[in-house]
Structure 1
Amino acid sequence: MTEDEKLREEAEEIRKETAEGAPEVAEHDRVAELERQLEEAKSKALYAAAEAQNVRRRLEADKEQASSYAAAGFARDMLAIKDHLDRALAAVSDELRADKTATQFLAGIEATARELDAAFQRNGVVRIKSVGEPLDPHKHQAMMEIPTGDAEPGTIVEEMQPGYMMKDRLLRPALVAVAKAPG
């Protein structure tokens, strides 16, 4: 037993003896103890209220994020359709564009592609800039390195598949070729 503990025990014994002889001292100790318990209860109540408020804020943030990104899976699926439309339009020859029947058909495909782009834009889906940009592993996936003196090493020189972001989330990384020093 330490010296402090001995002193506390002696003080407690003296307080008890004094309390028996002086009821007002015992009443004062009881009031002090009740005040201490009240402060402790207030502290616990404030902590519980703060914790409940934090949980409420977290739930609201989670709900907002879930509703904000609810369409991410659907948007990811629509990217494949966009890729197919873009490849189809890129494959059309100048001869076919000159044909009147094919021109009307192509106009419909181009209108569909524009409408898909507008739907992406309305929902915060944007294409990631790639060519000429430095490689960002959070947005780009390097598929190969191309030796060239025309660009700084680590700079994207070719895009094989466009990447897309939805607001601040990556939907699909851009598949790119990166410059490397020749030789």
Structure 2
Amino acid sequence: MSDPRTNDEFLDDLEAAEAEALASELEEIDDEALELEELRAERDDYKDRFMRALADAENSRKRSDRDRREAENYGGSKLARDMLPVYDNMKRALDAATAEGSEASKALIEGVELTMRELISVFKKHGIDPIVPEVGDRFDPQNHQAMFEAPLPDTKAGDIIQVMTEGFMLHDRLLRPAQVGVSSNPG
């Protein structure tokens, strides 16, 4: 049987079929390229999320380390602050007892001195250091609290003229400022 179509018609039909197949293949390639681009975008999104989660985890670790160190160093600050009046009272008792110099209370004074040394030792063990200003030192508002100002001959304004109580540092933080009197002489 012979095909009633002419060669030109046959070639036109063949070219149309090939063009249609080629268009179909190009459409599939476009679909695959689009799908590949979507997969790349999804991969980049997951990678970005992963990197952010990793950074958050690292920041959380650093923050918890810092919080742990602060809790170790400063967690007992409230107890330490509450112990300072005990230190002050023991110091006053020792000052008063040694001023009297009574032989009868010598053993009691010795016991209070030993207790005071033990308290100071415990303070040192936990990073509590005294701030002990001397008369004549310059007033430092970072470490001292001025309780009064008074003119005193032979002093400069801002010189410490009396120390009422010692101050204390807990590691690098001020636990209590030293309470002092300050000269107000004009310069």
Aligned ranges 1:2-41 → 2 under 5 Å: 21-41=26-46
Tell me the residue number matched to 1:12: none
Alpha carbons of structure 1 residues 27 and 160: separation in structure 2 relative to 1, 3 Å? same
Q: Does 1:124 align with 2:112?
A: no
Tell me the secondary structure at the aligned position of residue 68 of structure 1. helix
Contact 1:148 1:182 in 2 (8 A): no
Larger Rg: 2
Could you list the per-position Cα deviations for residues 30-85 of structure 1 after superposition, in whole angstroms to 9, with x for gaps in the alignment? 21221122012101111111112211221221122112222212211221111111
The structure 1 segments of at least 4 consecutive aligned residues displaced by more than 3 Å after TM superposition are: 18-22, 148-152
- Greater shift, 31-40 or 146-155, is seen at 146-155
- TM-score normalised by structure 1 residue count: 0.79
Tell me the residue number matched to 2:16: none
**Unmatched 5+ stretches in structure 2:** 1-22
- TM-score normalised by structure 2 residue count: 0.77
The Cα shift of 1:25 comes to: 2.6
CA distance in 2, matches of 1:47, 1:65: 27
Q: How many residues align?
A: 164
CA distance in 2, matches of 1:155, 1:20: 94
Tell me the residue number matched to 1:159: 163
* Equivalent residue letter for 1:35: R
Alpha carbons of structure 1 residues 102 and 31: separation in structure 2 relative to 1, 3 Å? same
Tell me the secondary structure at the aligned position of residue 22 of structure 1. helix
| Identity fraction in percent | 36
Aligned ranges 1:11-90 → 2 under 5 Å: 21-90=26-95
